[in-house]
Amino acid sequence: MIIAIISLFVQSLFIQPRTINHFAGLHTSSITMAEPLKKKKRVGLADSQIQVTRKVRRIEKEIRRLNRLDRILRPIEEIEGDRQLKKEIK
């Protein structure tokens, strides 16, 4: 009796891939009949060239922005301060 139950359980685990099960109007199918996976995006030569031109444009734009701002250079004395005063503070 136990062996028969175990064999039925084992058989139920191995469902044929093409079988379609239905119960009370609810139709289900095995995983092999499911929807296909999402189509992979193809990357062609034109797409890669577009990406490269976008990168180049972005970098050129950043260079132009940095050239427009032109940082004002300060003398080193203003940045560091007077060394004699620093020694007196300590």
Instruction: Please check whether residue 40 is in contact with residue 51, taking contact to mean a CB–CB distance below 8 angstroms.
Output: no
Query: Where would I find the beta strands (DSSP E) of the chain?
Result: 20-23, 26-29
- Confidence band of 69 (pLDDT split at 50, 70, 90): confident
- Write out pLDDT tens, residues 17-35: 555 555 556 666 666 566 7
Per the confidence metrics, is the pTM higher than 0.75? no
- Helix, strand, coil share (%) of the chain residues, nearest 5: 60, 10, 35
Query: Shortest CA distance to 17 belongs to which of 6, 26, 28, 30?
Result: 30
Q: How far apart are CA 12 and CA 10, in angstroms?
A: 5
Instruction: Please check whether residue 16 is in contact with residue 31, taking contact to mean a CB–CB distance below 8 angstroms.
Output: no
